[in-house]
Structure 1
Amino acid sequence: MNIKHSIGVFDSGYGGLTVFKSIAEKLPQYNYIYFGDNARSPYGDHSFDTVYQYTLECVEWLFAQGCQLVILACNTASAKALRSIQQKVLPVKYPNNRVLGVIRPTAEVVGGFTSSKTIGVMGTRGTVNSESYLIEINKFFPEVKVLQQSCPMWVPLVENNEHLDPGADYFVEKYINELLDKDNNIDCILLACTHYPLLIPKIKEMLPENVSLLGQGDIVANSLVQYLKNHPEIASKVGVEGKKSFFTSGDAEVFNTHASIFFGADVVSERISLNIR
């Protein structure tokens, strides 16, 4: 029996929709299920164990919906949960399923965007404290120096739709200056949170001309294109009706309003219940 699957895309909330948007533009033919765990977001300040448990519950829900391949379009989940799921859970419970993240594909290419061999990484406290980007970038570009900056106010600004208001200027400028003060050779900044692309207009206004800005959407989408080419056994099982379904653990009406901003198109979602605790 030839069962067709969807590609699952997961985030703790809305930010992963910026990645999903890029993926859907690059691979519009496939069926997708997006799930945002808005009832428990943001993940950034939670412990490793809590993020792992939350992420695993959401991944298993997507598996139950027929997603053989799930993309963790969330830097915090990728940093704190991905490896444990890949190494401890999949081989035992889901040997035919795959879970991919956003950190490794970004680390594989980021070194090509710096001339000074010095880059800045801006992310949530959870992503920064995990040091995942320091570790992964060093594997591919050991000659590149990486400076990190946590930006705890950026996600709340974006999720409250205040990211383009004048009041956001203070926090945008504050974190940029704190990062650039760490090393004046930084010539590339990676936005290591999928919420942050909505702040790009303000960030660009405050960056020196010699500093480039790098988002993750196109990088992750291009990586997925290559992954599916390399794994036809997975690609051949994905439905090709171009369907997009959206689910949230939070309020669906609230999700729809905010999600449309991130996704750049109207979103109609359904609320589902997880084992919230």
Structure 2
Amino acid sequence: MSDARPIGLFDSGIGGLTVLKALSAELPNENYIYFGDTARAPYGNKSSGSVTQYAEQTTRFLLRQNVKALIVACNTVSAVAMARIEELAGDIPVFEVISPLVEDVSAFLKGREHARIGVLATRRTVASRQYPEAIARRAGETIQVEQIACPLFVNLVEEGIWHDQLAEAAVDHYLSVWRQNTPDAVLLGCTHYPLLKPLIEAYLPQATVLESGPALSRVVAEALARSDMRHEDTGGSRIFYCTDALDTFVDAAVSFLGEAATNTTQIHLKDIECI
């Protein structure tokens, strides 16, 4: 059986395209619908109530597109709104980005009793303490977890500035505390941050830098296979929606995905706020 229904995924802006890229590599035959809430990005500085409200609206929109699975391609939403999203989704499987990344770092830590893990994330994700608590449950209390909120990283990526001197200065601003005492691994706890991964790796060459996209993609592939929900026919499609700055979104998609996002529609907020 081949299930051609699309996989829906969403983020506060363009960062979730890093997850879409990983999913497309792992599951190239699937059909995807991506929703970027560019009008209200970034979510990382918003209240939990606002983030949950935005996530509810986007979830309802994607469910109306008859998706077979829902990917929360945003760490902030994954940290504060999963219970509500799962409630709305009902029988539709929902996948978030935090647990797969924690599993990856647990594999990295195998056989180690003591280690230091750094987490780079938005203010809201840091405040939720989802990563330290999940790592403690999975890998033990002896693992030291240090978090740094890096709000400027999202703005830089949304503006397409992730490989010049301004981005380098932001990396130095946030990570200088680790320059002389580098963690064993650094988790990119925001789906925007993989665009800055080369700069982070160059700045902290002794650290292993992990991101959520590849880990999540493996989890989704295994889950769809178990449920006989894979789309086996070739030629998967991509449909994109954004809530503002259509031209900027399309340009960013080329940089993120390496190809044009030709099938992109801008949706006005009033059209999803009343869903």
- Same fold, judged at TM 0.5 (above): yes
Counterpart in 1 of 2:176? Answer: 177
Structure 1 residues 190, 100: closer, same or farther in 2, change over 3 A? same
Counterpart in 1 of 2:134? Answer: 136
CA-based RMSD:
2.1
Please give the per-residue CA displacement for 1:170-198, whole angstroms capped at 9, x wherever unaligned.
210121123567xx362100111111111
Contact 1:31 1:240 in 2 (8 A): no
One-letter amino acid of the structure 1 residue matched with residue 255 of structure 2: I
2:215 to 206, 219, 222: 219
| Separation in structure 1 between the aligned mates of residue 192 and residue 199 of structure 2, nearest angstrom | 14
Give the superposition deviation at 1:68.
Answer: 2.8
Please give the per-residue CA displacement for 1:82-112, whole angstroms capped at 9, x wherever unaligned.
12322xx23xxx4322221100111122122
Give runs of aligned pairs for residues 71-150 of structure 1, distance below 5 A: 71-86=71-86, 89-90=87-88, 94-114=89-109, 115=112, 116-142=114-140, 143-150=142-149
Give the superposition deviation at 1:69.
Answer: 1.0
**TM-score, length basis structure 2:** 0.89
Please give the per-residue CA displacement for 1:236-266, whole angstroms capped at 9, x wherever unaligned.
5898641111111113222101222122221
What secondary structure sits across from 1:164 in the alignment? Answer: coil
What secondary structure sits across from 1:126 in the alignment? Answer: helix
Structure 1 position 21 matched with structure 2 position 17: no
Structure 1 residues 179, 44: closer, same or farther in 2, change over 3 A? farther
| Separation in structure 2 between the aligned mates of residue 129 and residue 12 of structure 1, nearest angstrom | 18
Structure 2 unaligned regions, length at least 5: none
Give the superposition deviation at 1:137.
Answer: 1.6
Counterpart in 1 of 2:56? Answer: 56
Give runs of aligned pairs for residues 227-238 of structure 1, distance below 5 A: 227-232=223-228, 235=229
**TM-score, length basis structure 1:** 0.89
| Separation in structure 2 between the aligned mates of residue 98 and residue 211 of structure 1, nearest angstrom | 34
What secondary structure sits across from 1:49 in the alignment? Answer: helix
Identity percentage of aligned residues: 36
What secondary structure sits across from 1:40 in the alignment? Answer: coil
Runs of 4+ in 1 over 6 A off after TM superposition: 237-240
User: Does 68-77 or 94-103 show the bigger shift?
Assistant: 94-103
Structure 1 unaligned regions, length at least 5: none
| Separation in structure 2 between the aligned mates of residue 179 and residue 124 of structure 1, nearest angstrom | 18
The count of residues paired between Structure 1 and Structure 2 equals: 266
Give the superposition deviation at 1:231.
Answer: 2.3
